[in-house]
Amino acid sequence: MTPTARAATALLDAPRVLRTLAGLATTPLVPSDYLDLVAPLRAGARLRARVVAVHPETRDAVTLVLRPGRDWAGHVPGQYVRVGVDVDGVRHWRAYSLTSRPGAREISITVKAIPDGVVSNHLVRRARPGDLVHLDQATGDFVLTDPPPAKALFVTAGSGITPVMGMLRSRDLPDAVVVHSSPTPEDAVFGGALRRLHATGRIRLVERFTDADGMLAPSDLDGLVPDLAERQVWACGPTGMLDALEAHLPDVRTERFRPTVVEPGDGGAVSFTISDKVVVTDGATTLLAAGESAGVLMPSGCRMGICFGCVVPLKDGAVRDLRNGTVTTAADGVLVQTCVSAAAGPCDLEV
């Protein structure tokens, strides 16, 4: 090979050499980890969002305006998004309804702090513009029919108004009634916005305040909404209310919030739900190795935590990242890397 040819080859190989040297210099991290620090919302990065603004709604609820990463695929009004936040070294995931119109560069979720709620209290009391949160793509089928019904009824209580507000902001419905229950007028999430929609004729709002009126019962709807039988019904709120509504109105569409509280431990029983196998493992054995030892066909790739070829949904429980000790909890299908994660207590994997 001539000197000119060798020089040309060296120039062509320079990017590869630089990447290799950078990888060695930053072990156990990889260059993309450092790129995350300066461009966390770039295409191809793990999906995250930056908090743009925090708007108080009530004394214990706020709306967070988020700018998601470039790989955000958008949402349909009524859907929810799983949000991950790190609190005291543990990554927690919770689902929150999207309350903004679809198609905008920024999205919003509205969070109400619940007693002893780790994530909700963190977001309501401590979230600030500039913070980063983790995201999954939007999901859920609590959405309007297409075309929307001629007559719609929304029955909500507390933070159950949040998916409905996403629908009301996005569509002009021909005839919509909203029956909303809250402890007091001041505690009504989106109370002012709902009253403005009522004043302009976009909805008919019926408010019930439990401190004065007691709990809303399904039988109350017969008097509050005389043409109830003609309406398609959506409902979101506490489990007891939804159970009663489903017994009273067989065709009601409901959305249930399922907060999960997990106490991380060290090792535990790992259930592989699709393969119908369970293996008990310690806190140092990777989930990938545990699954393979039980005869589960596990997806895998580099086995070093780099390629993300091993990710599977974590349906329940908690896992610990063996590289840095970060604990991830999940209520509903958060993806985890099995080659670098171990059980942090009992957990269920969808594989």
Count how many domains the chain has.
3
Q: Which residues pair with 65 in a beta bridge?
A: 53, 108
Asked whether the predicted pLDDT for residue 24 surpasses 60, the reply is: no
343, part of any domain:
yes
What are the pLDDT digits (tens) for 171-183? 899 999 999 999 9
Asked whether the predicted pLDDT for residue 245 surpasses 90, the reply is: yes
Residues 68 and 105 in one domain: yes
Provide the 8-state DSSP code for 286: B
Q: What average pLDDT does the chain have?
A: 86
319, part of any domain:
yes
6, part of any domain:
no
Q: What is the CATH number of the domain that holds 273?
A: 3.10.20.30
Range of weakest confidence among 56-60, 88-92, 221-225, 243-247? 88-92
Of 104 and 192, more confident: 192
Which pLDDT belongs to residue 215?
87
260, part of any domain:
no
Q: What is the CATH number of the domain that holds 88?
A: 2.40.30.10
Residues 86 and 114 in one domain: yes
Residues 288 and 329 in one domain: yes
Residues 345 and 275 in one domain: yes
Residues 334 and 240 in one domain: no
Residues 290 and 335 in one domain: yes
What are the pLDDT digits (tens) for 276-310? 999 999 999 999 999 999 999 999 988 888 888 89
Residues 100 and 164 in one domain: no
Residues 159 and 238 in one domain: yes
Mean pLDDT confidence for 51-61: 96
- Cα separation of 185 and 206, whole Å? 12
Residues 128 and 156 in one domain: no
Taking the CA atoms of the chain, what radius of gyration do you get in angstroms? Answer: 24
Domain coverage including residue 236: 152-255
227, part of any domain:
yes
Range of weakest confidence among 6-15, 187-196, 317-326? 6-15
Q: What is the H or E stretch that residue 153 is in?
A: strand 152-157
283, part of any domain:
yes
- Cα separation of 50 and 239, whole Å? 32
What are the pLDDT digits (tens) for 144-157? 999 999 999 999 99
SS3 238: coil
Which of 207, 233, 255 finishes a domain?
255
Which of 255, 288, 321 finishes a domain?
255
Return the closest-CA partner of residue 241 out of 258, 228, 256, 226. 256
42, part of any domain:
no
Q: In which order are the strands placed within the sheet that holds 152-157? A: 204-209, 176-182, 152-157, 232-236, 253-255
CA 173: distance to chain centroid? 27
12, part of any domain:
no
In the chain, % of residues over pLDDT 90: 61
Of 20 and 217, more confident: 217
What the block records as the tokens of 240 is 């007891």
Asked whether the predicted pLDDT for residue 65 surpasses 50, the reply is: yes
Q: What is the pTM of this model?
A: 0.68
* Confidence label for 68 from pLDDT (cuts 50, 70 and 90): very high
Q: How many CB atoms lie within 10 A of CB 335?
A: 16
Q: Is-contact 190 110, C-beta < 8 A?
A: yes
Which pLDDT belongs to residue 260?
47
